[in-house]
Each structure stands twice: as structure tokens, then as C-alpha cells.
Amino acid sequence: MSQDLPSSKYDRQKRLSLWDQQIIEDSQILIAGVGGTGSEVAKNLALLGTGKLILVDADTIEFSNLNRQMLFREEDVGEKKSEIARMRIQEQYNPDIKIESFPDILQRIPQRAFREVDIIAGCVDNFLARQFINAMAVELNKPLIDSATDGFFGQVQYINPRKTACLACDNPAPPDETRILTAPCTLVGAPRQREHCAWKALYDFNTSYDREPLETSQEDLSILTNFANKYAKKYNYSNFDEKELLQLILFRVPSLITVNAVTSGIQSQEILKALFLEKRTSFKKNEMKRLDFLIDTHRFRIPSLFIYSALTGSINTFEMVPDPNCLVCGQPTIDSQTFFEVEVDPSSKFKTLFEKTQPKKSKDTVGFLGNKLLPEDGIIADFLSDGDRITLSSLVGDEEIRLQIKFQK
């Protein structure tokens, strides 16, 4: 029996005319969010034979996740999603894959996690995290394939920094809850709308118990409802019920595994294509020629926006054009915020670095790590670590440049 088995478990995909398994096995992909779409994407990439995955998710597994997040089981409820996902993927789908997991919010993971990957997959469930990943992708010039779902709808957006529109182009309006969250007056003043009573109730809950309410706790929901109805009564609004509060405050968008599977299937496929484009020169000569031909004849392309509607069964694609004045990927922003990598001898002094990077103005230059001044005569290794980012400012003008320090080996 074993003699009849193909030599590789990737045999069927290797038979594709445009394929290089080695490119996939050498690749590293960061998956931000391991929920409904993220766990599907992680599973797909593991089965494809990806070399390394970095999984980031600060959330814990909830009972209501189990209808669609196939990496998790009932006994995992309460555990960290990223940790369980790592274990399950290695156990069930690919024991050879390297996986690093970060059970933390995206803003707190080391920046090298973003820097060392080839592609970033955005599978998060909120506007602010999505904007953060977008800014990182643009700053590090890494392709980002972002996905989102809501009930019967799914969308996938391909961000090729400075070539296609990013997620901040044309100032997308943040969802209502983000707008309310960023308006502190809503929390302290009189509720201008009925929904504000729910927000004030959440604020009261947080200050009274110093924690977030638990979706699964009947007691927490009752307390919240009482707080909200106290305001509703005082300001002449109709009362809330617990189900309504749950939707208003905890933003549980409706989710279907079928929509998640289609959306993350599209996302995984586009990640694969983006990877092939990134590593185009690694293909064998003939394969590269074939790929170039397909690209030239528009038979290989990554649309910048896919929208899937499960209600009509349609997948529509759109080409999104960058906004020249975008605050994240617009040229003026790029010029002022891009970090330039500079290789330095860690035993040298900052003076040498200033002379190297600002040859004509080195005497009028000061360096900062965050808000800490870097002394001209200081030894670099005493103040900085490999990969640190510093700012050089001119003492005579407004110019600033940003450097990423790379230690010479």
C-alpha cells in the first residue's frame, strides 16, 4: 500500500503548471486575529505547506465561537485562541510547520514579528486593529490581505503599499461604536440618543467592577441592563432588554461559517498569489516566464477589493486607487515617516552615525530614541539594541529623518 503513495503529501498541488512548493515552504505569514476567518486562513496555509505562521490574538475562546472556528473545541473555552490554534494546527494539519503565537494585542507584539514575514493577513474584528495593521503594512512595505465578514457579507482587500489603496485611503468612516467610544462627552454628559444610555451603563460597569462585562455571565448582563435602564428612565427613553444590550455593547456581529469559509478561502488564495508575486524571481526560469506572460495578459492579477454576498451568490471585484492625500500611504506622509535602515558598528559613537547619515549637517543634528536624547559621544551599543528606531532632528531647521538601526555582525 505504502508503495502506491505519492512521494509528497503536496503531490496534487505540485502538479499545477504554475507552482513552486519551495516558495511556500520558505514563506512566513503573520495572521492577525485567529477567529472566524483567521482560523480558516491558518488551516489553509498550514495545509498548503507554509514554512512559518505567526498567530496573533489576545482573545480567549468563547462558547459562541464554536459554531464556526473549527480549530477550537468545547474544552478549550476560556483558553487563549492563538495558543490553542498553534497546538491544533500542528497536531491536526501540519506537524512540520513552525508556528509562533502571541496571545496579546497587535500593538504590543514585537515589531520584528511584522518585519520578518513576507505577507500580513488581516483577520481582525474591529476598525482600530485593522487600521493599525494597515499602518504597519504600509510602513514596512509588506503586502496586506485583509478580510472582514458581517452576516451574509464578506470582503477581502489587497493592499500593496503605495500601489493600491490602503485601508485608510479616503478616510473610511469608523463604525458607530468606534465613534461613540472616541467621544468622551457621550460618557459624562446627558445621553443625546437612547444608545448612549447603553454606553454610560458600560462605563458604570467598568468603573464599578474594574473589568469588562462577560458575555456569558447572566449576572453581568442583568447589572448592565439595570444601569442602562436607570439612564433610560431618567432621560425618557424606552427600556433595554438584555439581548439588545448585548448587540449594542459587545458588538457581536452575526457570523456564519459558510461566509467565513468563502471569505477566508478567497483570502488564502490571494495570499498565495501575493506570495508568488513577491517571490517571482525565485521561480525557475520557464515558470517565471509563464507567470510574466499571465501577468502581462491580465490572466494573473489580484483585484484590490472583493465583495462576497451569500444572499445573491455574487463575488464582485473592484480596483481601488490610492488616495494621494492619504494620512497613511500618501506621499507626504511616507516622506516624513519612512524609516531608513542603516547599518552601524555598535561599538562606534553616535557622532559617526550622524556624520554618515547627515554628512553636511552632522554638527547641527541631534538623535532621539523616543524622547530620550542620544549623546553625540555616546557608544551606540550602550543606548540602542539591534532593530531600534531613532529620529535625527536638525537643530537649525524642521527636518527630521527616521532610522532603523541594524548592527553590523
Partner 1 sequence: MSKKDVIWDSTTPGKAPDSGIEKMIKVRFKDPQLPPDQNIREKYININGTVFQAINAARDAFNIPEVVPIALLFKGRRMNPSNNLSSYGIEQNAILMIVPDQIKGG
Which residues are near partner 1 by CB under 8 A? 33, 35-38, 123-127, 130, 147-150, 153-155, 165, 169-173, 175, 253-255, 304-305, 307, 309, 311-312, 314, 316, 318-321, 323
CB of 77 to partner 1, least distance (A): 19
Element spanning 124, H or E: none
Closest CA to 357 of 344, 368, 369, 346: 344
Backbone φ and ψ of 364, nearest 5° = -100, 25
C-alpha cell at 298: 491580465
The residue (of 319 and 400) whose beta carbon lies closer to partner 1 is: 319
CA distance linking residue 320 with residue 333, whole number of Å: 19
The residue (of 101 and 365) whose beta carbon lies closer to partner 1 is: 101
CA distance linking residue 234 with residue 152, whole number of Å: 38
**CB distance 30 to 106 below 8 Å:** no
**CB distance 39 to 82 below 8 Å:** no
Question: Would you call 344 helix, strand, or coil by DSSP?
Answer: strand
CA distance linking residue 315 with residue 313, whole number of Å: 7
The residue (of 321 and 373) whose beta carbon lies closer to partner 1 is: 321
CB of 300 to partner 1, least distance (A): 20
The residue (of 53 and 384) whose beta carbon lies closer to partner 1 is: 53
Closest CA to 38 of 155, 124, 167: 124
Question: Would you call 272 helix, strand, or coil by DSSP?
Answer: helix
C-alpha cell at 207: 468603573
The residue (of 50 and 255) whose beta carbon lies closer to partner 1 is: 255
Backbone φ and ψ of 342, nearest 5° = -135, 130
User: What CA–CA distances, in Å, run from 226 to 189, 203, 212, 338?
Assistant: 19, 13, 16, 50
Element spanning 23, H or E: helix 21-25
C-alpha cell at 22: 519551495
The residue (of 143 and 154) whose beta carbon lies closer to partner 1 is: 154
Find the helix packing angle between 36-48 and 81-88, rounded to 10°: 30
The residue (of 97 and 148) whose beta carbon lies closer to partner 1 is: 148
The active-site residue, picked from 185, 197, 326, 329, is 185
**CB distance 35 to 126 below 8 Å:** no
C-alpha cell at 103: 496571545
CB of 30 to partner 1, least distance (A): 14
Q: Using the 8-state DSSP alphabet, how is residue 4 labeled? A: G
CB of 200 to partner 1, least distance (A): 23
**CB distance 18 to 287 below 8 Å:** yes
**Annotated catalytic residue 185:** yes
CA distance linking residue 170 with residue 174, whole number of Å: 12
The residue (of 51 and 175) whose beta carbon lies closer to partner 1 is: 175
C-alpha cell at 26: 520558505
Active site residues: 185
